[in-house]
């Protein structure tokens, strides 16, 4: 019987986050941020099974699944939560997170993680971009006061996005199909009560500003140290939910035929392994 | 002191699963007057946690003889008072499958996180356990939304009304839950008929009081919107409603 390579640890602070601790000493931390109305872990389906499917990389990775309430939380609010919580996990995992009830799941590491990966899907992609953009802004402020201020550790990240909603939802996308139904007004009213949904309208201020600020950082004097702001992207093809358009500064993007907006980020052992490969390498 | 993985998982289970269940129970005890309904809800959650433990042992996820240090907390007077008649077994008809530890792990996490959201817990409570005093105003709010929109589809409805109807729009999420895992009872109505016939009939009667197209939206929301972003737009169960003329829907 195959022994799981990770053990889940449910976190109360931040609430609804789940940390999958690798059984062996990890080399890296991979942080997942789900999309609109998703769940911390479920939205990523079998990513945890990477420890068995591709053990050389995933068995030595701790996996942190960030949960949030997309129907009530704002993009900037979640981004702030991620940015302020992440130092508890990276570069050094807080020791208390290795223990439950006074029992330690593995020995503490001798040093910090070697690598950080930030992975976002759909709305989660926008949140990841905002986290990094805000971290870069904060560093810029620190540099203004102290030219030797060190780069924040989270800017070490390699950024992987699955069908990010960076340019917003398609106006005639999935909701368009429902617009002919009698249910449409109620659905719209429900969705408009969600601040994140409102922010995902194409051309919204938050989407525009996040892109503009990211571009400004990538053309600034510290651009070479801000590789985290250059995302690798895997789009669903067809994707009828978001506008499949990357930022100018992003790395190469890829399209996955036969996957929809929802399924593009959900690996399946032996059937659809590209999400694992994409997170590992930024390529497919 | 380090732990064997199995021991760690048992402790994780104790701490997280039971805390989630206790949290659910505590939240309701403070807000609800329906003590019998709450006690029944407690009993079913306790039975579910016991099933997770048994299944975990079968899978080698826990040590062979787990001793659970903590149990789901009950309010004794309500639980003991009606214990003889509060039998959770009708909620667990199908024997669960023996799946691998990784699958078990995933389903357990899904079950715990699924219990963590207020609206979903509210949905379960109202559909399966609430007395009529609690159910009727909740169902009436949904009917009122339906009625107002039927009269004037483009009208804006007050947030207070939508808040009261929201339980029907953000229910439990079936995706990711294995068919025969211990949490499956939460998905049983209206999608499956795996509950005891009487329990199913009762839940279905409640579900059926909702207006058809709202029910279909709730099913879509139940399946989660992001999911289903695509699924909301094109699922067979909604497509049928969408393509019907509205005069037939109402």
How close A152 gets to chain B, by Cα (Å)? 31
Which residue among A1, A18, A262 places its CB closest to the CB of B229? A262
Distances (CA, A) of A150 to A24, A91, A159: 30, 14, 20
Structure tokens at A14: 């931040």
Is residue B228 predicted with pLDDT exceeding 60? Answer: no
Q: Which residue has the higher pLDDT, B223 or A145?
A: A145
Structure tokens at A243: 């506008």
Distance from C-alpha of B127 to C-alpha of B118, rounded to nearest angstrom: 14
Structure tokens at A177: 């199909």
Residue of B22, B58, B113 best to disrupt the A interface, most CBs of A under 10 A: B113
Distance from C-alpha of A125 to C-alpha of A234, rounded to nearest angstrom: 11
pLDDT at residue number B147: 77
- DSSP states along B42-103: HHHHHHHHHHHHHHHHHTTSS-SS---S------HHHHHHTGGG---GGG--SPPP---HHH
pLDDT at residue number B232: 36
Residues 150 through 209 of chain B touching chain A, CB cutoff 8 Å: 150, 153-157, 159, 162, 166, 169-170, 173, 175-176
Contact A104 B3 (CB under 8 A): yes
Is residue B7 predicted with pLDDT exceeding 60? Answer: yes
pLDDT at residue number A162: 96
Structure tokens at A111: 């040093």
pLDDT at residue number B141: 86
Is residue B173 predicted with pLDDT exceeding 80? Answer: no
CA atoms B126, B128, B133, B136: torsion sign = positive
Residue of B7, B227, B243 best to disrupt the A interface, most CBs of A under 10 A: B227
Tell me the mean pLDDT in the region B5-14.
Answer: 81
Is residue B242 predicted with pLDDT exceeding 80? Answer: no
Is B55 an interface residue toward A (CB < 8 Å)? no
For chains A and B, what is the number of CB pairs under 8 angstroms?
173
pLDDT band for position B76 (cuts 50, 70, 90)? very low
pLDDT at residue number A143: 96
Assess contact for B129 and B237: CB atoms under 8 A: no
| Per-residue tens of pLDDT for chain A, all 284 residues | 567 788 888 888 898 899 999 988 999 999 999 987 777 887 887 898 898 899 999 999 999 999 998 778 899 999 999 999 999 999 999 988 988 777 888 888 889 999 999 999 999 999 999 999 999 999 999 999 999 999 999 999 999 999 999 998 776 554 554 554 555 566 666 666 777 777 888 888 999 999 999 999 999 999 999 999 999 999 998 887 788 999 999 998 999 998 888 889 999 888 999 999 999 999 99
pLDDT at residue number A35: 86
Is B143 an interface residue toward A (CB < 8 Å)? no
Q: Which residue has the higher pLDDT, A59 or B193?
A: A59
Helix (H, G, I), strand (E, B) or coil at A47: helix
Tell me the mean pLDDT in the region B153-169.
Answer: 76
pLDDT at residue number B14: 82
For the CA atoms of A126, A128, A129, A132, the dihedral, rounded to the nearest 10 degrees, stands at 160
Q: Which residue has the higher pLDDT, A186 or B237?
A: A186
Chain center to CA of B207: 13
Residues of chain B with Cβ-Cβ distance to A3 below 8 Å are 5, 60, 101
Which residue among A42, A175, A177 places its CB closest to the CB of B173? A42
Helix (H, G, I), strand (E, B) or coil at A230: coil
pLDDT at residue number B47: 82
ipTM of the complex: 0.77
Which residue among A8, A9, A37 places its CB closest to the CB of B225? A37
Structure tokens at B161: 């009304």
Of B43-52, B55-64, B79-88, least confident by mean pLDDT is B79-88
pLDDT band for position B216 (cuts 50, 70, 90)? low
Contact A181 B61 (CB under 8 A): no
pLDDT at residue number B154: 62
pLDDT at residue number B206: 82
């Amino acid at each position: 019987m195959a022994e799981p390579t990770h053990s889940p640890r449910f976190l109360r602070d931040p609430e609804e986050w789940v940390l999958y601790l690798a059984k062996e000493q990890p080399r890296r931390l991979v942080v997942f941020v789900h999309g609109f109305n998703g769940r911390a872990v479920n939205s990523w389906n079998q990513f945890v099974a990477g420890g068995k499917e591709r053990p050389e990389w995933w068995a030595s990775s701790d996996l942190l699944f960030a949960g949030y309430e997309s129907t009530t939380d704002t993009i900037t609010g979640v981004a702030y939560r991620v940015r302020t919580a992440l130092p508890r996990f990276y570069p050094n995992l807080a020791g208390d997170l290795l223990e439950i009830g006074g029992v330690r799941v593995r020995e503490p590491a001798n040093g910090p993680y070697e690598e950080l990966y930030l992975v976002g899907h759909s709305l989660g992609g926008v949140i990841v971009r905002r986290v990094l953009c805000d971290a870069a802004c904060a560093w810029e402020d620190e540099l203004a006061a102290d030219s030797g201020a060190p780069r924040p550790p989270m800017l070490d990240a390699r950024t992987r996005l699955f069908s990010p909603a960076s340019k917003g939802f398609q106006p005639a996308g999935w909701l368009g199909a429902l617009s002919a139904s009698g249910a449409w007004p109620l659905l719209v009213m429900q969705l408009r009560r969600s601040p994140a949904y409102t922010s995902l309208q194409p051309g919204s201020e938050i989407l525009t500003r996040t892109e503009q600020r990211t571009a400004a950082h990538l053309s600034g004097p510290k651009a070479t140290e801000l590789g985290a702001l250059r995302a690798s992207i895997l789009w669903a093809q067809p994707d009828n939910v978001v506008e499949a358009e990357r930022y100018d500064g992003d790395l190469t993007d890829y399209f996955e035929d036969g996957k929809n907006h929802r399924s593009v980020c959900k690996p399946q052992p032996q059937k659809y392994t590209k999400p694992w490969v994409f997170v590992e390498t930024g390529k497919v | 002191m380090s732990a064997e993985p199995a021991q760690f998982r048992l402790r994780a289970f104790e701490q997280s699963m039971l805390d989630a269940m206790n949290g659910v129970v505590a939240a309701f005890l403070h807000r609800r007057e329906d003590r019998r309904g709450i006690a029944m809800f407690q009993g079913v959650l306790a039975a579910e946690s016991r099933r997770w433990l048994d299944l975990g042992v079968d899978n080698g996820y826990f040590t062979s003889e787990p001793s659970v240090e903590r149990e789901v907390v009950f309010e004794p007077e309500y639980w003991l008072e009606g214990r003889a008649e509060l039998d959770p077994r009708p909620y667990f008809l199908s024997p669960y499958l023996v799946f691998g530890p990784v699958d078990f792990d995933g389903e357990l996490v899904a079950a715990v996180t699924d219990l963590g959201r207020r609206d979903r817990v509210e949905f379960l409570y109202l559909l399966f356990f609430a007395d009529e005093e609690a159910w009727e105003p909740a169902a009436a709010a949904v009917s009122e939304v339906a009625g107002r929109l039927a009269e004037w589809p483009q009208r804006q409805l007050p947030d207070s009304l939508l808040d009261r109807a929201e339980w029907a729009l953000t229910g439990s999420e079936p995706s990711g839950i294995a068919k025969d895992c211990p949490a499956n009872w939460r998905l049983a109505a209206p999608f499956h008929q795996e509950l005891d016939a009487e329990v199913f009939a009762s839940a279905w009667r409640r579900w059926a009081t909702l207006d058809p197209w709202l029910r279909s939206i709730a099913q879509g929301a139940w399946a989660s919107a992001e999911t289903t972003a695509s699924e909301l737009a094109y699922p067979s169960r909604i497509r049928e409603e969408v393509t019907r003329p509205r005069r037939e829907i109402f």
